[in-house]
Amino acid sequence: MHTIFPTLDAWLAYCERLHPQNIALGLDRVREVAQRMGLQFDCPVITVAGTNGKGSTCAMLEAVALQSGFRPGVYTSPHLVHFEERCRVGGEIVKAEELIPHFEAVEQARVKDGKEVALTYFEFTTLAILRLMSLSRLDVAILEVGLGGRLDATNIIDADCAIITSIDLDHMELLGPDRESIGREKAGIMRAGRPVIVSDPVPPQSVIDHAAEIGADLWRFGKDFNYDGDKQQWGWAGRGRRYAGLAYPALRGANQLMNASGVLAAYEAIRGKLPVTAQAVRTGLSMVELPGRFQIVPGQPTLVLDVAHNPHSVAALTANLDAMGYFPTTHAVFGAMADKDWEPMLTKVGPLVDRWYFTDLPTPRADSAENLKAKLQQLQAQGVIRKDVSMQTFANPQQALDAAVAATEAADRIVVFGSFFTVGGVLQNGTPRLNAKHLAH
């Protein structure tokens, strides 16, 4: 008799108990269960790997597909507030109850004929979402790689087109100590004879070598496709096609043109299977939305939400904050995982922040607020961070944000960044709308 639970939350709790590790690399177990389930896609599949920019890339792919009249399915992880955010079909987040039969099917296949296969939380939930997507009559499936590429659970599906966004240092304990080894892991999503779009302008040699070794059709930024732009608009050129006079993507930030360029290259590479129109490209990119990616919330003070949680993405966040213009005081709500390379993150954004609000996060992997504060004090002692900044610690992101709001003037700004848990923590009750003290009635 296999296990059955009535709610998604109960299934997720069960998945957390099943396997002692959060992450167990290797595809044999997932592949075994997928085969037992008969999992397969009968539409084009685009798989997206990279250190940063994966979520934005998936959102742009989806927006262009929707505007072309296609029915896309998207799988991304992690989520900000609710688990079901990880799967969208036809532009809509799936409902919790729609996922339950697919969790049941995974469990049935997992314990089939008394031969039980151990699955991690991520593997189990990935299989459930892939099954839902495979049965949803999609025109295109867009899969975001959870970690790395070669051994990620999404890689059991052969992609018609692979995209590698950026390659930087993150999860080094699992993926390797440098960009070359991390690039080799991400290159694992390539398939022989099929296009792979690399939108990192300076990709590791390991990525280029792997494409050559297996005979993938490599599209390199700066060689096979490129973009240019001025203040008003931008243009893209690829193999045999150009787009001119494009509006900037609705996702803000300097790196979004790199992501958008990769998206256009991908659609060009699979044009024979999924033809998108120029108008769909224009409209899709101008309308794309993704919470927590340099999201500027209207109101006073200005509120910026960003899931930047490694040195590369914090450098991008810093450049974007810098470009916003002058604010008398910048307040930062920050919480992060203990295994992150915190020193370059805090050093990079440090000069822009006047007041820090460190927060604990609801996961054992997180660093404590006290610990983060001690790290910043250490950098102060070394003269890396200015001496005049204030620091406080809080039990959760909402308390930290409330304290920041209480201390701000209308012209200030608050930046909430670090982990998905940090940004998710202030989005629990919807997007916060701030009204400065002197504006309140």
Reduce the DSSP state of residue 44 to 3 states and report it: coil
On whether both 255 and 129 belong to a single domain, the answer is: yes
pTM as predicted: 0.87
CB contact at 8 A, 308 and 417: yes
90 φ/ψ angles, rounded to the nearest 5 degrees: 60, 30
pLDDT digit string, tens, across residues 15-63: 988 876 655 567 899 999 999 999 999 999 999 998 788 889 999 999 9
On whether both 261 and 332 belong to a single domain, the answer is: no
Per-residue pLDDT of the chain (441 residues; tens, 9 = 90+): 567 899 999 999 999 888 766 555 678 999 999 999 999 999 999 999 987 888 899 999 999 999 999 999 999 998 889 999 999 999 999 999 999 999 999 999 999 888 899 998 999 999 999 999 999 999 999 999 977 677 888 999 999 999 999 877 554 455 555 788 788 888 889 999 999 999 988 898 999 999 999 999 999 999 999 999 887 889 999 998 999 999 888 877 667 888 999 999 999 999 999 999 999 999 999 888 888 888 888 888 999 999 888 888 888 899 889 989 899 999 999 999 888 788 888 898 999 999 999 999 988 889 999 999 999 999 999 988 888 999 999 999 999 999 999 999 999 999 999 988 999 999 988 888 777 655 443
Instruction: Give the residue from 187, 239, 196 showing the smallest Cα distance to 216.
Output: 196
The domain tally of the chain equals 2
Distance (Å, whole) CA 211 – CA 40:
25
Last residue of one domain, picked from the residues 268, 287, 306: 287
Q: Which residues pair with 304 in a beta bridge?
A: 296, 415
Distance (Å, whole) CA 16 – CA 221:
40
DSSP 290: -
- Structure-token pair, residue 436: 């400065």
CB contact at 8 A, 354 and 348: no
Distance (Å, whole) CA 26 – CA 333:
36
On whether both 355 and 274 belong to a single domain, the answer is: no
* Sheet architecture: strand order including 330-335: 295-297, 302-306, 413-418, 330-335, 355-359, 390-394
Q: State the Cα angle at 209 between 207 and 215, rounded to 5°.
A: 100
pLDDT digit string, tens, across residues 362-411: 888 899 999 999 999 999 999 888 889 999 999 999 999 999 999 999 99
On whether both 85 and 213 belong to a single domain, the answer is: yes
CA distances in angstroms from 378 to 314, 348, 375, 390, 410, listed in the order given: 19, 15, 5, 14, 32
Residue 333 belongs to domain spanning: 295-427
Residue 2 forms part of a structural domain: no
On whether both 40 and 66 belong to a single domain, the answer is: yes
